[in-house]
Amino acid sequence: MNLVVGDIETSEANVNMLSVLEASFCIYDDRFKELESFHESARIRPTCVPSLGACLTTGIRTDKLVGANNSSFELACKLHNTLSKWGSYCTIGQNFIAFDNEALVRLFHKSLIPDIWLLKKLPRKMMDTLFLARASKLIDNKSLKCEVSSKGSDLFKLGSLCKMNNIPHENSHTSAGDVYATTLLAKLIKERVPKLWEQGLKIAHKTDAKKFIEKNKIISHVAYFYGRARWYGLKFCYSNVYGYARLWDLRTSPEDYLNLNYQDLKQKLSKTPKVMRTVKPSKFDICMDYSYAFNSEPYSKIGETELRRRATILDSNPKFIELIRTIDNDDIQEKQTMDQTELIPELRLYKDGFASKKDEETMKLFHKMDWKDRVKLFDRWENKKYAWFNKVLLFEERPELLPKSIFNEVRDEFSRRLHTIENVSWQTFPKFAKELTDYGTKFEKEKNEKNLQLLKEYDSYVADMEKKYPKP
pLDDT for 23-45, tens place per residue? 999 999 999 999 999 999 999 99
Residue 342 pLDDT > 70, yes or no? no
Instruction: Give domain status of residue 62, yes or no.
Output: yes
Residue 341 pLDDT > 70, yes or no? no
pLDDT for residue 226 = 80
Supply angle C-alpha 297, 298, 299, rounded to 5. 90
Residue 337 pLDDT > 80, yes or no? no
Listed residue (126, 129, 89) closest to 105, CA to CA: 126
128 shares its domain with 253: no
Alpha carbon distance 82, 262 (integer Å): 52
Torsion of CA 386, 390, 393, 397, to 10 degrees: 170
388 shares its domain with 414: yes
What is the per-residue pLDDT across 247-305, written as a single tens digit (0 to 9) for each?
999 999 999 999 999 999 999 999 988 999 999 999 999 999 999 999 999 999 999 99
Residues 6+ apart with CB under 8 A from 1: 30, 88, 89, 90, 125, 201
Instruction: Give domain status of residue 300, yes or no.
Output: yes
For residue 313, give the CATH number of its domain: 3.30.1520.20
What is the per-residue pLDDT across 371-397, written as a single tens digit (0 to 9) for each?
999 999 999 999 999 999 999 999 999
Kind and range of the H or E element at 103? helix 101-110
173 shares its domain with 33: yes
Whole-model pTM?
0.94
Per-residue confidence band for 333, with pLDDT thresholds at 50, 70 and 90: confident
Number of Cβ within 10 Å of residue 351's Cβ equals 11
Average pLDDT over residues 347-353: 86
294 shares its domain with 162: no
Cα dihedral 358, 364, 369, 371 sign: positive
Instruction: Report percent pLDDT > 90 for the chain.
Output: 88
pLDDT for residue 171 = 79
From 315, 338, 361, give the residue that closes a domain.
Answer: 338
For residue 18, give the CATH number of its domain: 3.30.420.10
170 shares its domain with 245: no
Average pLDDT over residues 329-344: 72
14 shares its domain with 103: yes
Per-residue confidence band for 339, with pLDDT thresholds at 50, 70 and 90: low
Residue 167 pLDDT > 80, yes or no? yes
Asked which of 53-67, 154-168, 410-424 is least confident by mean pLDDT, the reply is 53-67
165 shares its domain with 25: yes
153 shares its domain with 44: yes
315 shares its domain with 409: no
- The one-letter amino acid code at 462 reads V
33 shares its domain with 154: yes
Alpha carbon distance 71, 51 (integer Å): 19
From 285, 310, 338, give the residue that closes a domain.
Answer: 338
267 shares its domain with 402: no
Average pLDDT over residues 345-363: 92
129-139 vs 175-192: helix crossing angle, rounded to 10: 30
Which structural domain, as residue segments, surrounds residue 261? 205-338
The number of distinct structural domains making up the chain is 3
pLDDT for residue 338 = 52
What is the per-residue pLDDT across 213-257, written as a single tens digit (0 to 9) for each?
999 999 999 999 888 899 999 999 999 989 999 999 999 999 999
From 296, 319, 338, give the residue that closes a domain.
Answer: 338
Q: What integer best gives the mean pLDDT of the chain?
A: 95
Instruction: Give domain status of residue 200, yes or no.
Output: no
Average pLDDT over residues 425-442: 96
What is the per-residue pLDDT across 69-122, written as a single tens digit (0 to 9) for each?
999 999 999 999 999 999 999 999 999 999 999 999 999 999 999 999 999 999
**What backbone torsions phi and psi does residue 8 show, to the nearest 5 degrees?**
-130, 155
Query: Which one is predicted more confidently, 331 or 309?
Result: 309
